Amino acid sequence: MRPFIHVNCAMSADGKLAGEDRTQVRISSDEDKTRVKNLRKKYDAIMVGVGTIVADDPHLTFKDGDYDTNPIRVVLDPHGRTPEDAQVLDERAPTVMVTLEDCDVEWDCEEIIRAGKDSIDLDKVMEELAEEIGIENILVEGGGRTIASLFKARMVDRYSVFVGGLVIGGANAPTPCDGDGWVAENGIKLELKDFEVLGNGALLTFEPRYE
């Protein structure tokens, strides 16, 4: 068994997560930010990739100083790029770092999972998160490569995206499903389950239909 995986992100009306240089751009409305804060409270863990850590240095918590009620933070970092002083490694919540087998970087965190030689073995990671740590559900908040890897592995159970009322532009600006050399044959089909206007934008919620 693996955890239930819900990918949640915000993109511009032209499908970008940030600027071409990965500079953070405010996309979510105030209403969507409130939704995300409440959404985090429903999940055992929040997962992001190392690109999000390096670009934004998020702390991934909803309540300062309450170690027991914040979700577990999970970071996918194949080559050990997360700085020692990253906020995701602070004491506000437990953190699990996920890296490759031959990565010898050590972090001061709850646990380090080393899985895979060339790329992270997501099957092994999810099994350990579920069986060893007791994580039943995960909220994935980016970035594009992490989301793409989960779609490629057919692990995404729910996909919600807030589409903000702005255009960012840039051929190389990150999108919700980045990644080198991977294109799903005929695409991954999504079934629209819900939609809602939140300020100057709209929230779309899909369920993947894997063939």
Mean pLDDT of 163-189: 87
Specify the DSSP class assigned to residue 72.
E
How far is Cα 71 from Cα 37, in angstroms, rounded to an integer?
A: 12
Per-position b or e across 32-60, b if 16+ CB within 10 A of its CB: beebbeebbeebbbbbbbbbbbebbebbb
Mean pLDDT of 166-179: 92
Specify the DSSP class assigned to residue 74.
E
Closest CA to 197 of 25, 41, 35: 35
91 band by pLDDT with thresholds 50, 70 and 90: very high
Taking the CB of residue 205, how many other CB atoms lie within 10 A of it? 17
Q: Above pLDDT 70, what percent of the chain?
A: 96
Mean pLDDT of 159-163: 98
Closest CA to 76 of 163, 31, 140: 140
pLDDT of residue 154: 94
Tokens 């990918």 — which residue?
Answer: 7
Mean pLDDT of 10-32: 93
pTM assigned to the model: 0.94
Q: Give the phi and the psi of residue 182 in degrees, each rounded to 5.
A: -120, 125
* pLDDT score of 65 more than 60: no
* pLDDT score of 49 more than 70: yes
21 band by pLDDT with thresholds 50, 70 and 90: confident
* pLDDT score of 34 more than 70: yes
Mean pLDDT of 105-122: 97
pLDDT of residue 185: 78
pLDDT of residue 64: 58
Please give the mean pLDDT across all residues of the chain.
93
pLDDT of residue 181: 65
pLDDT of residue 67: 62
* pLDDT score of 66 more than 70: no
